[in-house]
Structure 1
C-alpha cells in the first residue's frame, strides 16, 4: 500500500476526500491529516507518505510554499496533488514548476481523482521497483507490475538484476485456484502455498514471484530452469505439482496455465492466456489442469441449455420424481462439459432453473425462502468453483424444492389429474385453455400438459376437441339447430373453424354427417 497524507484547513473537505472513494482498492492507505502547511511538514518527516494531497490556499503555510520547502529542504520527497477552488492558470503554472503530479479543481470529481490515483500508483510502483535491493525484493509489486503491462527496459533490467534471473528465457504464468467451497480468503493460503511452490521448483533461498488474486486465486511465474527441464513432459510435471499441492494443503485445487513466453517482459501475455483458461473450468476431462495450449482453440458455448432439457427438469421437479430430476440434471451437466459452456452460460442455466422452480412455488402460494439450499445456490459463484461442487448444491436445492412443491400441492388437495379431467369433462363447452386450468389447480401448465398426455395418451387440446366434436355429433343427430348455434354451444367461437375441425376428425362436413344420419333413419 502507498501512504497518503491529506492537507486542508477545512475538516469537512478532508473527511469528504477520505470517504469519497475506496482507497485500498487503488493501492493507497490514508496515513494522516493536517490542517495547515506547518503541520504537514512535520507529518511528512514523521510518516514519510508516498503522496500528499494538499489545498493550494491555507493559513500559516499555503500549499505551494509547502511543496517548495519539501522539494528544497526535505529528505523525503513524496508526490503531490494540488487541490484548488480557483481555476487560475498562474497557480497551475507554478504548481507544475514544482513537479506536482496533478492539479484538481474543487469540488473534487470522483472519477477524475480515481484516474489520477491509478496513474500515480503505477509511477510509485515503478519507483519502488527501481529502488529495490538484492536483500529485500518487493515481490508483490514486481509480479503485479509485470502482469499488468510490459514494463520499460530500465525497470526490466533492474528486476532481472535484483532477482538474479535471465530476461531471455522461458516463463509461464499460472493461476492456482483453491476450490475449498469457502468464501474468498476465509483461509489464507499464501504462505504455505509459497513454501510448497519454492520446494517443488527447488528455489530454496530464492524468491518466487507470487501474488494474491480475487476469488481464492493466486498467480505465480514458473521459474525458467524448471520449465527447461520438462521439454515434452510439461503436462506431467504440472499434474505432479497439482497432486502435491492438493495433498499438502488438504483441499481441491485447479491450475490454469498460460502460454509459455520467451522473455520475462512478455509475461503479461502469458497471464492473459491463463485468464482465458478460466472460461474452460467446466469443460470435460481436464481434472483440475487447464492448459492454454490445449484449450484456447476450442469454441466456447455462450447460450442457454437446450429447451428440451430445461422442460424435462421442470416436469420431473413437479412430479417429484427423484430418479427423473437426477437424470435431467446429469444430462444438463454433461452438456456443460461436452459443449464447453462458458461460466456465464452455466450461471444463466442455473438461474433459469432456479427462477422457474421459484415460480412454481409461488403459484402454490409457497415461500421459496423456506428452502434451506436457496441461499447456497443464489451465491454459488462466490464459493463453488467446479462442476462437482455446483452439481451437489444444485441437486440439493432441486430435491428440497420438489418435496416442498409436492407438500404444498398436497395441502391444496387439487393436484390429482383425475380431478383435472373431471373439470375438463364438465367445462369443455366453455372457453377453457390449458394455462387457465393449470392456474385453477395450482400447477405449472407445461407439467400439467405432459402429465395429462402421460395418463390419457392424448394432448390436452386433442382431448378437448374430441369432447366438443362428440357433443356436436349428438346435437346434429338429435336437434335441428343451425351450424353456428351448435358451434357456439360446444365451445367454438367461429362456425367456419368448427366445420374445419369437424371435417378433420370425421372426414366429412357437419352437414354431410347430419344428412347421413337422417338417411340411415
Structure 2
C-alpha cells in the first residue's frame, strides 16, 4: 500500500479528507492523522509516509516548515499536497519551493480535485522509484492486503503450524510478541440517513474503520483487519492472560472508541470480545469466541465479552466448525480442484437446506468459505468480486442475507461462480504463484531459503510447491535459488562489494568454502578466479 499521512488542526477537515475518496481504490492506506506541525514531523519520521496532505497554518510548525525540515533531514521527502484556507501568492510560492505536488484551497476542494492531486502524487512516486532502480512500491502497495490476509488466516485457523505463522509474521514486519492477545469483532450499524448500499455507505464505513484504528492506536498498539464493509476485527496485545490485568482498561478503550465514532459519524458500534490467548497461533480461539458473543449483542449493551457467557437463543446454533474439511478445502483451492470444491460446497448446502434454526451456522460457514477463497487464492478477491459483480453489495451481500434461503442462494452462486472461473484461471494462477515465490526468493537472498521454509511461507506443502515450481518455471526450486544467489554474487563482485567471505555471508551461505564450491560448480571457475578476471580481487585475498 501507498502510505498517506493527513495533517490539519481542524478535526472535521481530517474526517472530511478521510471520507472524501475511497482510498483503497488507489491502493492507499491512511497511516496517521496529525493535528499540529510538530506531531506531523514526528509521524513522518516514524511512519515514513509516501504522501502527506497538510494544512499550511497549524500550531507549532506550519505545513511548509514541516515539508522543508523533512526534505533537509532525509533528502527523500514524501510528496506533499498543501491545503490552505487562504488564497495567497506567498503561500503558493512557498509550496513551490518545497516541491509540493499541489496547492489546494480548502473551501474549493472537491473529490475530483483531490483525486487529480493524488494521482499526480502517485505518478511522481512511480517516476522516482523507476529512477532509483529500487522497485519496492508494488510490494509495499500490497503489504496491507497481505497483512489482512495473514490475520484472516489466523482467525480461521488456516495455518498448518506455528512455524508458518512465524515466517509470515517476520516477512510482513509484524510484531506479535506480547504476553497475550485478544480479538474483538466489531459491526457498524446505521445511520438511517445513509442509504443501505452504494458509495456513501462505503465511504462512511471506510472512514469509521480508519478513525477506529487511529483512536485505538493513540492509546496503544493494535491490528485492525477489515472483514467486509461493515465488519472488522481488532487484535489487541495484553499484559497477561488473566482478565484482571486487562478487562477494565479494554472496556474503557472500546467504549471511548464507540462514543467517538458515534459523535463523528452517527454510527453505532457493536462488538464481541473473545477470550485471551497467549500464543498468536491460537488467535482463532479468541476470534471464534468473539463471534459467538457478537450475535446476541444489542445497542443497549454495545460491547459484550465472551467471559460474560452470553446465551445464544437459537437451538443448535454453534458456529460452523470446518476443521474436518479444512485440509480438503485447502487442497481444492490450492490445486484448483473444481470437482472437489463443488462437492464440498454442495455438502454444506444440503446440510443447511430446510433448517432455518441453523442460520447463524450457515452464515458463518459462508463467511469462512469467502475468507478462505480470498486468502488462499493469489487473486481471490478479484475472483469473488467478479462472481458477485451484479449484486449491489458485491460478495459482501452475504451480510445482507437474513434467511436460510438467502444464504443458500449465495452459496450456490459462489459455488457455481468458482467452478466456472477457476478452470480458466488454473494456469495463470500457477504462474502467479511461482512469480510470487521468485520475488520472495530475490527479497530474501540473505536466508538459506529451503524448500520447506518457503513452502511454509506460502502455506503450501513442500511436495506441491516443488512440483508446481518445476513444472511452471522449467527449473527445480533448489536450482533456481542457487542460480539466483550466484547471479547476485557475480553482480556484487563486479561492483566490488566486499571480499569473498563477506559476499557469501550476505547471501546466506554457512561458510565461504561452501559458497566457493557452489560458485565453481555453476560458473566453472572459483570466486577468486572470477574476481581476478574482473580485477576486483582485494590485496588481502591475492
Relative to the length of structure 2, the TM-score reads 0.29
Greater C-alpha radius of gyration: 1
TM-score normalised by L of structure 1: 0.30
